């Protein structure tokens, strides 16, 4: 599936910038929304004992964006190493450091999205195309809103279009994950007839 993989990788690259920007915006919103509640409170109260943010989708970011005030003071004054305590009041780390934290987290999320997009769609399309040697043309583009389109033609005259989009959801355990819904359109079979109500299952069976 070299040609398919190459095209999906190209499209995945096209999704990266908008996806990363959306993740960064969501992380900043989470930090700013949590600031009035977290700042001045103890780490154990926020993230351990009462756990109001324990299951938060951005808990990893929040735990880095708000640090014990003594830790921040030790870093800013150069007074030495601070071992930390769960009972120390938390303070906002500062825009510069939080930007670096969010940049790193968003970059990681984007890399995971890219890999999942390519792998999941490659697996899905492999069940439809089956033999890449019979694939004569594959085109595609990425549109705004983390959506896109692909166009396939086979050497025997079969063809179809596939639209896709990237959806980010939160699990019951507060973890982010991506889904990549697809729809098949304008499916033409080898005899020239058109497939009605094309679905992934139908494509894999009848195309």
Q: What is the greatest pairwise CA distance in the chain? A: 79
Residues spanned by the domain of 13 = 2-206
Share of the chain above pLDDT 90, in %: 71
What are the angstrom distances between the C-alpha of 13 and each of 19, 54, 115, 124, 139? 10, 33, 10, 19, 15
Q: Evaluate if residue 169 carries a pLDDT over 80.
A: yes
Count of domains observed in the chain: 1
Q: DSSP states of 149-191 as a string?
A: EEEEEETTS-EEEEEEE-EEEE-TTS-EEEE--EEEEEEE-TT
pLDDT at 134: 85
What are the angstrom distances between the C-alpha of 46 and each of 37, 69, 105, 179? 9, 15, 21, 30
pLDDT one-digit tens code per residue, 101-145: 999 999 999 999 999 999 999 999 999 998 877 899 999 999 999
Q: pTM to 2 decimals?
A: 0.87
């Amino acid at each position: 599936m070299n040609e398919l993989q190459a095209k999906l990788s190209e499209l995945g690259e096209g999704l990266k910038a908008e996806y990363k920007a959306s993740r960064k915006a969501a992380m900043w919103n989470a930090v700013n929304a949590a600031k009035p509640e977290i700042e001045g409170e103890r780490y154990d109260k926020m993230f351990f004992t009462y756990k109001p943010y324990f299951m938060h989708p951005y808990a990893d970011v929040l735990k880095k964006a708000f640090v014990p005030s003594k830790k921040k003071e030790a870093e800013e004054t150069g007074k030495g190493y601070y071992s930390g305590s769960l009972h120390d009041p938390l303070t906002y780390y500062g825009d510069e450091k939080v930007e670096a934290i969010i940049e790193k987290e968003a970059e990681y999320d984007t890399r995971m999205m890219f890999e999942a997009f390519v792998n999941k769609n490659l697996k899905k399309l492999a069940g439809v195309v089956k033999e890449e040697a019979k694939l004569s043309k594959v085109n595609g583009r990425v549109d705004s809103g983390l959506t896109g389109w692909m166009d396939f033609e086979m050497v025997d005259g079969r063809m179809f279009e596939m639209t896709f989009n990237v959806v980010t959801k939160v699990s019951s355990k507060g973890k982010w994950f991506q889904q990549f819904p697809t729809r098949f359109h304008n499916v033409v079979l080898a005899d020239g007839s058109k497939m009605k109500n094309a679905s992934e299952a139908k494509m894999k069976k009848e195309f």
